[in-house]
Structure 1
């Protein structure tokens, strides 16, 4: 069984047993999370799309806060002495899909 789920504004293709990194969601390690905004379900070749989908995806939080790679934005204007450096690290949550029901 395969599903397309919308989590924090992004779409993810999931199956039972998958482990993936999603944008940071509230919760602690070991908590159960349900995602009810399922866009598509493929059940042995039978596709269900749109408002007909009545499926809920259940997941467990494996690690509650994972930092992504550092991204640096550097601005400079030549011969003016202007330099500006900003950086950030995006926060993610690692989840494991338990069931699609």
Structure 2
């Protein structure tokens, strides 16, 4: 069974038993989360999409805070002595899909 789920404004293609990183979610390690915004479901060749989808995806939080790679935004204007360096690390949550029902 395959589903396309909208999590925090991004779309993810998920299957039962799959582990993936999503934008940071509230909760602690071991908490159960449920996603109701399902865009597409393929159940052994039976496809439903849009308003016809009547499914939910249940998942468990494996790791509540994972930091992504450092992204640096460096600005400089030549011959002016102007330099700015900004950086950040995006926070993610690792979840494991338990079931699509």
TM-score w.r.t. the length of structure 1 is 0.99
Secondary structure of 2:51's aligned partner? helix
Counting only pairs closer than 5 Å after superposition, residues 22-101 of structure 1 correspond to structure 2 as: 22-101=22-101
Hey, what does 1:4 align to over in structure 2?
4
What is the DSSP-based 3-state SS (H/G/I as helix, E as strand, rest coil) of the residue aligned with 2:42? strand
User: Which stretches of structure 1, 4 residues or more, deviate above 2 A after TM superposition?
Assistant: none
- TM-score, length-normalised on structure 2? 0.99
Residues in 1 aligned to 2:75 and 2:40: alpha-carbon distance in whole angstroms:
42
Q: How many residues align?
A: 101
Runs (5+) with no aligned partner, structure 1: none
RMSD: 0.3
